[in-house]
Amino acid sequence: MNIPKSHPRFVSLSIREKIVRGYNDGLVAKEGLLAHGRGEAFDYLVGEKTSKTAKAAIKAAAAKLLSAQNPVISVNGNVATLCPKEIVQLAKATQAKIEVNLFYYDEVRKKKIEKSLKKAGAKQVLGTNPRSYRKIGNLDSPRRIVDKDGIFAADVVLVPLEDGDRTEALQKMGKTVITFDLNPLSRTAQKADITIVDNIIRGMKLLVSACKKPKSTKTNFNNKRALSSAVSEIKNNLRRRGSLA
């Protein structure tokens, strides 16, 4: 649907159309539409803007990615659809590899995602060659299948938009995990080393800019404290909005 620019919910509805197009093009899982709805609801709660806490997390994530030896960006159907250009820009800015990794496992969808990322400018996309597959231990979901030259060998992994058990499994392998998740209470948000509580549509652009600017790679970021601030920001936003109602 063509959303009229004058619609008060234009931005949110346009992002929704993007994810629907991704589903129609075979990039997004049916379940990805539900995950997006959950994200929309949390975005409403955070006020649909990048908070101070998210900006601090973006700064810490940029520092971590820039100082990594072997950073990898893990891409699922929703992420590939929402910000393909930014994934490519981030990979260039941080010398990171890009790997397709799906929860709702589907080789055909993987190939379509690879093709769409290459169309967005990616030179190499890992995760689609069965000869390179390795399994992560302590994990039963299909996310355990990773590329030997990508996530398997990475020291820092960006795993946006997933609420599950992979973060802990990656950390047990000694990796640092960064995530984007609008829900500060999700399992991944709670377990990651750095959680950016922001819509990936906004946050990815800011992360790319932060990685392009030379700066100190030292930050005193604490994820537990940041998540607690993110929850406070939601509470304050609700209090403000509630009192105006």
H, E, C per residue of 165-188: CHHHHHHHCCCEEEEECCCCCCHH
**Residue selected from 3, 14, 42, 111 as contacting ligand PTJ according to rule CB under 6 A:** 42
Q: How far lies 226's CA from each of 62, 78, 156, 178, in Å?
A: 16, 25, 19, 13
**Residue selected from 114, 147, 149, 162 as contacting ligand PTJ according to rule CB under 6 A:** 162
Taking the CA of residue 40 as centre, how many other CA atoms within 13 Å lie in the half-sphere pointing to its CB?
A: 16
Stretch that binds ligand PTJ, among 2-10, 100-108, 132-140, 208-216 (CB under 6 A): 100-108
**Residue selected from 103, 145, 159, 208 as contacting ligand PTJ according to rule CB under 6 A:** 103
Site string for ligand PTJ, 191-210 (x = CB under 6 A): --------xxx---------
- Residue 182 interacts with ligand PTJ (CB under 6 A): yes or no: yes
Residue with tokens 């981030």: 90
**Residue selected from 22, 36, 62, 88 as contacting ligand PTJ according to rule CB under 6 A:** 36
- Residue 76 interacts with ligand PTJ (CB under 6 A): yes or no: yes
Q: How far lies 165's CA from each of 93, 109, 187, in Å?
A: 28, 22, 7
Residue 183's nearest CA partner among 35, 64, 62 is 35
| Residues of this chain that bind ligand PTJ (CB under 6 A) | 29, 31-32, 35-36, 38-39, 42, 76-78, 82, 102-104, 161-164, 180-183, 186, 199-201
